[in-house]
Amino acid sequence: MQNKNKNKFHVNLSSLLIGNIGDIKKVIIKEVELLSNNETFNNIIANINFIRADKTIIAKGKIRANFKIICSRCSEETVQVISSNYEEEYFPYNYDIMGFHNHIEDYDYENEIDLQIQKLDKRNFVDLSSTFKNSLYSAISIAPKCKEHCKGICINCLKNLNYEKCLCKTH
């Protein structure tokens, strides 16, 4: 089962590599979950446009997922919907499929030495899981709130002020 879920993040981009510049492949990935460290992103929905560039493939995507948070004010656990946009560039494993000689590869890499290079695998598949993780992590708030106007916890009597009132004068 775990393997089946994992494969949903792999997309075959062979058709774009043998196609023309400007070709677009639209991919929708739904209802998958992604585990990262001890956290889980659930009900992921991602829309990605893969666009054939000259020697690479550009991916422009939108992703959303459900994510469990602990409210920074009242400490209640809630599920939040987070969403993010991302753009990524993928280099083919083999350039010959695009009609180029493979020595182009080394040349391009030297020019883009500062970029973290994302490569397709030998079968021209892209693995989207790390891109998804990075993009979802960037959407997580540092101090998440269960709701916009969470009243928090009384520091004196420790009541959750979203549910109860207290008579302390501390707030």
Q: Does 168 bind Zn ion (CB under 5 A)?
A: yes
Residue of 18, 21, 147, 4 whose CA lies nearest to 81:
147
- Least distance in angstroms from the C-beta of 81 to Zn ion: 16
Q: Does 150 bind Zn ion (CB under 5 A)?
A: yes
CB-based contact 28:6 (threshold 8 Å): no
Amino acid at site 133? K
How many angstroms from the chain centroid is the CA of residue 54?
A: 25
Backbone CA torsion sign across 5, 7, 10, 11: negative
Q: Does 21 bind Zn ion (CB under 5 A)?
A: no
Q: Does 153 bind Zn ion (CB under 5 A)?
A: no
What would the x/- binding string for Zn ion be over residues 45 to 74, using CB under 5 A? Answer: --------------------------x-xx
The count of chain residues that interact with Zn ion, using the rule CB under 5 A, is: 10
Q: Give bridge partners of residue 51 from the DSSP assignment.
A: 24, 58
Among 18, 79, 117, 157, interactor with Zn ion by CB under 5 A: 157
* Vertex 118: Cα angle to 36 and 40 (nearest 5): 10
What number of H helices and E strands is found in the chain?
Answer: 4, 7
Question: Which stretch in 15-23, 89-97, 99-107, 139-147 sits in contact with Zn ion by CB under 5 A?
Answer: 139-147
Question: Which stretch in 52-60, 121-129, 132-140, 160-168 sits in contact with Zn ion by CB under 5 A?
Answer: 160-168
- Least distance in angstroms from the C-beta of 149 to Zn ion: 9
Interacting residues toward Zn ion by CB under 5 A: 71, 73-74, 146, 150, 154, 156-157, 166, 168
